[in-house]
Amino acid sequence: MDDVTTQRTVSLLGSTGSIGTQACQIVRANPERFRIVALSAGGRDLELVAQQAVEFDVELVGIAAGDRAKLESLIADAAQATGKRAVSRVVVGDDASVHAAGVGADVVLNGITGSIGLRPTVAALEAGSTLALANKESLIVGGPIVKKLEKPGQIVPVDSEHSAIAQSLTSGAAHEVRKLVVTASGGPFRGMTREQLGDVTPEQALKHPNFAMGRVITTNSATLVNKGLEVIEAHLLFDIPIERVETVVHAQQYIHSMVEFHDGAVVAQLGLPTMLVPIAMGLDWPHRIPDVETPIDWTKAMNWTFEPLDDEAFPAVRLAREVGAAGATYPAVYNAANEECVEAFHDRRIGFLDIVDTVEKVVGQHTATSGELDVDGVLAAETWARATAHDAIDKVAR
């Protein structure tokens, strides 16, 4: 696929989410470069799924949950309204995204949120597709599984930080890299002390300074759990020891991440704080799509700041380093326990600081089993972590 004039087929997982809808925007503007052949979604917005399926004339559409008859009716209505054909294959159920991932498209863009993206990630790799990975959790919880399946260059990161690192790494050889520097916005509570964080509310945690995201991801950005996950992801994606992956708070988010080389040079990727360029790079790596994003306006004065991460107020990254170094099922436990704690926080059963404190307790109780890790082992560890987190949450809530 080195010829940029060759149209690439795309399977889009999580088509109605933020990543998915922006990917559709890019494909819509570049029909000569991309053709969506399959898409999947959770099923909350069946009307949008039907519209996307008909617009892009996909061969397969899948939803994790929902009424098959209703979706087929909506697809028929959309086809009639536009004069296009209806989709011939509709899949409903937990494995819908697995089916979409395994169709053999040139590129599978995994924009699913959460560790439920692991099986589709595995399916895409086994099908030989290039995996444009926005679903960081599948790599984090299934690291050994994914790394074993991955062929050289088969995974292209879509998270803005990791896309920035991948782009910056082209400036030097692997043995010349000293460290990776992952930037963090600091979230809505940047600069607050641990004591001040004790009283923050769910509503405050959802007010991210730069992005509108789902509840879990936005809360993870407030606790910096999201940044902890990204540190583990960088370690696994680029085969860099986790102690050589640093974080720095850059509130403006114009510098998406950096690579420091052993001669002292630091190469950074800059751009507006949006996801369009990372998604486009994921779809057509290593080629660039013209005018996919508005460049920075250098005629305007700007101030960019950098601050060290406060590990006392935000211990999530420190804990992530520990579970990332331990490997095995520890990252899966970290992620699953956090998801349960985030829900408990929004249900007002625990406080903001209790989220990471509880995750640390759960991780401390975990003992990984020996032997080669498989998907069932990951899922079993997650089930244990969720149950253990519930027990810990109940004790905090009393």
CA-derived radius of gyration, the chain: 21
- Does 19 appear as a known binding residue? yes
Q: Please tell me whether the peptide bond between 308 and the residue prior to it is cis, using omega within 30 degrees of 0.
A: no
- Tell whether 135 is in a known binding site: yes
User: Do the strands 245-249 and 8-13 form a parallel or antiparallel pair, or are they unpaired?
Assistant: unpaired
- Find tokens 């005018």 and name the residue: 291
Cross-strand partners of 157: 133
The annotation status of 374 as a binding-site residue, yes or no, is no
Query: Edge-to-edge strand order for the sheet containing 255-261?
Result: 245-249, 177-184, 255-261, 266-270
N-to-C CA span, the chain: 58
**Residue that has been written with the tokens 């696994």 in this structure:** 236
Instruction: Please check if 371 is assigned to a binding site.
Output: no
Cα 187 to Cα 16: distance, rounded to the nearest angstrom:
25
Q: Kind and range of the H or E element at 108?
A: strand 107-110
Backbone φ, ψ for residue 196 (5° rounding): -65, -30
Phi/psi region, residue 198 (left: phi>0; alpha: psi -120 to 50; beta: rest), is alpha
Structure tokens at 288: 């660039």
Residue 339 annotated in ligand binding = no
159 labeled part of a ligand binding site: yes
Q: Is 11 annotated as a binding residue?
A: no
Element (H, E) at 378: helix 375-397
**Matching residue, tokens 């690291």:** 143
Retrieve residue 233's tokens: 């992801």
Instruction: Give residue 93's identity as a one-letter amino acid code.
Output: G
Helices (H), 224-329: 225-238, 276-284, 316-326
User: What secondary structure does DSSP assign to 285-297, as a single string?
Assistant: TT---TTSSPPP-
CA–CA distance, 375 with 296 (Å, rounded to integer): 43
55 is in an annotated binding site: no
Exposure string (b/e) for 186-208, b if CB count within 10 Å is 16 or more?
A: bbbbbebeeeebeebeeeebbeb
Establish whether 207 is an annotated binding residue: no
Give the orientation angle of helix 375-397 with respect to helix 352-365, to 10 degrees: 130
Q: Is 18 annotated as a binding residue?
A: yes
Q: Is 161 annotated as a binding residue?
A: yes
102 annotated as belonging to a binding site for a ligand = no
Give, in order, the Cα–Cα distances in Å from 355 to each of 39, 316, 325, 343.
34, 9, 21, 9
Q: Which residues are annotated as a binding site for NADPH?
A: 16-19, 42, 135, 137, 214
Q: Which residues are annotated as a binding site for Mn(2+)?
A: 159, 161, 230
Q: Which residues are annotated as a binding site?
A: 16-19, 42, 135-137, 159-161, 185, 208, 214, 221, 226-227, 230
Q: Which residues are annotated as a binding site for 1-deoxy-D-xylulose 5-phosphate?
A: 136, 160-161, 185, 208, 221, 226-227, 230
